[in-house]
């Protein structure tokens, strides 16, 4: 009886190791993003309303609002200047801001427009709540329930609050995600998605013209479809999973056979 329990525990442990190895390979799918690490971040911000200034210091964007209660603070990010490439809201349904405020709580808002629905309006406004903390936090605006969130995003406007508040407001990064759950699960590490420098394509070596051979037909050339890196990665993951599962089964079977032989000898 004790031997059977040991076998069961070994099998469970081995399976848990296999499952955990697959879980570690899963990563949050990050869309376009921008980090407050250069002056381009501040230069792209336009249409400041009820905001005295924005400045960049030590990789953090500092937003200084006007006196408390004096207006509706907001600033716009023209996407064509703000991020490289188009942002398709049919794909990316959430945008996240990593922020720090000196007084916790409250509600922030974004407004957006697209090539399918130009112009900012209340029908294209998404609210979200701040956590009651003065530490860095990620606020997520979920656009999945807004029928206007389709097509190519052209303008993104951030309203830190409904009216000016006397506090310090800082932004470290902005990123788009396919779902709000992905945005909430993101740990802020952009290293795995850094875009590598393009590799120069070598010029092909000219091929000399072949000398014709009389009364001889050349065999047809068979071409192979190249395997992409993504195909190799996915195939590797499947192979590892299958091999691991088979290994677990084989180990369990060997242990059972050994124990049965010992019992039969007794």
- Residue 110, phi then psi, degrees to nearest 5: -125, 150
- CATH topology assigned to domain 30-191: Jelly Rolls (2.60.120)
What is the spatial distance between Cα 69 and Cα 195, in angstroms, rounded to a whole number? 43
Q: At which residue do the structure tokens 């996240």 appear? A: 96
pLDDT band per the 50, 70, 90 thresholds, residue 115: very high
> What's the rounded mean pLDDT across residues 97-101?
97
Other C-beta atoms lying within 10 Å of the C-beta of residue 11: 16
The predicted-structure confidence for 227-252, as pLDDT tens digits, reads as follows: 444 444 444 454 545 445 555 565 66
Q: At which residue do the structure tokens 């409904």 appear? A: 162
Q: Could you tell me which residue, 157 or 240, shows the higher pLDDT?
A: 157
Is 160:149 a contact under the CB 8 Å cutoff? no
Q: At which residue do the structure tokens 């995003």 appear? A: 153
Q: Could you tell me which residue, 68 or 253, shows the higher pLDDT?
A: 68
The predicted-structure confidence for 177-191, as pLDDT tens digits, reads as follows: 999 999 999 999 988
Domain spans of the chain? Answer: 1-27+229-266, 30-191
């Amino acid at each position: 009886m004790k031997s059977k329990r040991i076998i069961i525990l070994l099998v469970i442990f081995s399976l848990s190791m296999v499952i955990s190895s697959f879980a570690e390979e899963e990563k949050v799918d990050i869309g376009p993003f921008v980090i407050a690490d250069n002056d381009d971040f501040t230069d792209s911000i336009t249409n400041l309303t009820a905001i005295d200034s924005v400045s960049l210091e030590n990789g953090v964007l500092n937003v200084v609002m006007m006196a408390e209660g004096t207006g509706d603070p907001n600033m716009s990010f023209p996407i064509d200047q703000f991020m490289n490439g188009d942002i398709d809201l049919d794909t990316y349904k959430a945008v996240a801001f990593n922020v720090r405020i000196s007084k916790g709580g409250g509600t922030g808002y974004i407004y957006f427009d697209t090539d399918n629905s130009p112009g900012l309006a209340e029908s294209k406004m998404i609210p979200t709540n701040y956590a009651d903390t003065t530490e860095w936090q990620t606020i997520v605006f979920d656009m999945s329930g807004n029928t206007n969130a389709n097509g190519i995003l052209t303008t993104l406007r951030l309203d830190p609050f409904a009216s000016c508040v006397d506090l310090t407001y800082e932004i470290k990064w902005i990123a788009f995600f396919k779902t709000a759950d992905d945005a909430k699960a993101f740990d802020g590490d952009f290293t795995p998605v850094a875009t590598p420098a393009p590799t120069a394509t070598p010029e092909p070596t000219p091929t000399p013209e072949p000398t014709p051979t009389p009364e001889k037909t050349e065999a047809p050339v068979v071409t192979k479809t190249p395997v992409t890196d993504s195909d190799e990665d996915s195939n590797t993951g499947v192979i590892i999973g299958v091999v691991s599962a088979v290994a677990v089964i084989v180990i369990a079977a060997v242990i059972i056979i050994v124990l049965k032989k010992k019992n039969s000898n007794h």
